Amino acid sequence: MDVRYTNPFIESVTHLFRTMLQTEMTVGKPALSVDDVRADVSAVIGFSGDATGCVVLCFPIATAARVASTFAGIEMTKDHEDFGDALGELANIVAGQAKARLDGFNISISLPSVIIGREHTVLQSKQRPRIALPCESPLGGFTVEVAMVIERERGASRAMPAAVGAAS
């Protein structure tokens, strides 16, 4: 995927961890995702408009609990009534900030959905380019997966899939 489209997500998740969770994190090399990501907790936000697709924050349960607890300022497990809301809000922040960084695009984002279940799979269209962003932090490792098709870029009228590995 062109760095113009992946960098907003990298910048957003890095900014979120630095400002909202007061911890540094690193994002490894983005890679084309050919297999469906398996996770214990997935926070999903869809987007539509000039670009369609979704962003999924995929966590092991221990990482999700540490992230949600740090964000909320209280101890949380997957059984806490606000656990899903905390992780959904984090996904909302990442998607909202990425949307703001995608200059020249008219994009709407959906409400977040949070899926909790041991090693579940979020099935995504194989027709969309999907990029996995491996992330590491003191709170644990997780993956941000972005699936996106550019429907219209600054006045273009035909659908254009985002190119993998293109330079900016």
Question: What's the token pair of residue 117?
Answer: 């279940």
pLDDT, residue 126, reads 57
d(Cα 158, Cα 142) in Å, to the nearest integer? 34
pLDDT, residue 109, reads 94
At 72, is the pLDDT very low, low, confident or very high (cuts 50, 70, 90)? very high
What is the DSSP track for 121-157? Answer: E----TTS-EEEEEEE-TT--EEEEEEEEES-STT--
pLDDT, residue 9, reads 94
d(Cα 87, Cα 59) in Å, to the nearest integer? 10
Please count the other Cβ atoms lying within 10 Å of the Cβ belonging to residue 168.
8
The CATH number of the structural domain formed by 3-154 is: 3.40.1550.10
DSSP β-ladder status, 107-109 and 31-32: unpaired
How does the average pLDDT of the chain come out, rounded?
A: 85
- Please report which helix (H) or strand (E) contains residue 135, including its range: strand 130-136
What are the structural domain ranges in the chain?
A: 3-154
Secondary structure of residue 64 in the 3-state scheme = helix
Compute the half-sphere exposure of residue 105: CA atoms within 13 Å on the CB side of its CA. 25
pLDDT, residue 118, reads 87
Does 148 score more than 90 pLDDT? Answer: no
* This prediction's pTM: 0.84
Question: What's the token pair of residue 92?
Answer: 């909302």
Length of the chain: 168
